[in-house]
Amino acid sequence: MNKTAAIIADLNEISRDVRQTFGGLNAEQINWRPNAKSWSIGQCFEHLIVTNNLYFPNIQKVIDGRHRNNFFSKIPFVTDLIGILMKNSLNPEQKRKMRTFRIFEPASSAISTTIIEDFAENQQRLIKMAEAVPDFDLRRIKIAEPLSIALNLRLGDAFEILAMHERRHFRQAERVLEMQMKPRNKTNLPNF
């Protein structure tokens, strides 16, 4: 299985897992937060939609044939280093918490109960983009990171990072759901 096919399979698996695990939750469950500094299940998935949407324009330029590697992508080793650092920090097995940049933050207000279906639709768009590039040179094509045109990723790394990021937040949302389901002897937990 080539890299693109493996990423597409992972994205499809994530989409299926999200629907199975969170698809039947009500508004209170979607929006419950363990504490003021933690995200709700809904915020985890809104964050993923926001993040994916920020990458989509640069990926779409590649698909449309309008993309050109920028000056910064030609600096030796920098693109590889950025990819390695991002994979290490976004790896689902990474236990260390990270703060997100404001540009990627979810809404702090109530999230709609449609968030799981919204994520699934967003995921289908990402999958279609990955399916559109199987014959492209995923190592040679480099796209700018949404934070800065000076930060570039190989196209293959960008897809891999987005999938890893989704798996990381899926696991975060699972932990929030587990906290909700623990015995109700704590006063801040809702009764479901």
Average the pLDDT over 80-98 and give the result.
85
Average the pLDDT over 18-42 and give the result.
95
Q: Quick check: is 186 in a domain?
A: no
Strand, helix or coil at 90? helix
Q: What is the pLDDT of residue 183?
A: 67
Residue 107 has pLDDT above 90, yes or no: no
What is the extent of the structural domain holding 30? 3-102+112-181
Where is average pLDDT lowest: 20-29, 37-46, 78-87?
Answer: 78-87
Is the CB of residue 163 less than 8 Å from the CB of residue 10?
yes
Mean pLDDT of the chain: 91
Q: What is the pLDDT of residue 162?
A: 97
Which residue's entry shows tokens 């915020």? 43
Q: How far is CA 127 from CA 21, 28, 162, in A?
A: 20, 30, 11
Q: Quick check: is 147 in a domain?
A: yes
Q: What is the pLDDT of residue 89?
A: 87
Angstrom distance (rounded) from CA 5 to CA 14: 14
Q: What is the pLDDT of residue 180?
A: 93
Q: Quick check: is 38 in a domain?
A: yes
Q: Quick check: is 43 in a domain?
A: yes
Residue 104 has pLDDT above 70, yes or no: yes
Q: What is the pLDDT of residue 1?
A: 66
Q: What is the CATH number of the domain that holds 133?
A: 1.20.120.450
pLDDT in tens, 130-164: 999 978 898 999 999 999 999 999 999 999 999 99
Which tokens hold the place of 52? 């994916």
Q: How far is CA 21 from CA 62, 174, 177, in A?
A: 33, 8, 9
Question: Rg (Cα) of the chain, in Å, rounded?
Answer: 18
Q: Quick check: is 168 in a domain?
A: yes
Note the pTM of the prediction, 2 decimals.
0.89
Q: Quick check: is 153 in a domain?
A: yes
Residue 25 has pLDDT above 60, yes or no: yes
Which residue's entry shows tokens 């930060």? 151
- Residue in 19, 141, 8 with CA at minimum distance from that of residue 79: 141
Strand, helix or coil at 139? coil
- The CB density around residue 82, as the number of other CB atoms within 10 Å, is 21
Q: Quick check: is 190 in a domain?
A: no
Q: What is the pLDDT of residue 191?
A: 52
Domains identified in the chain, total number: 1
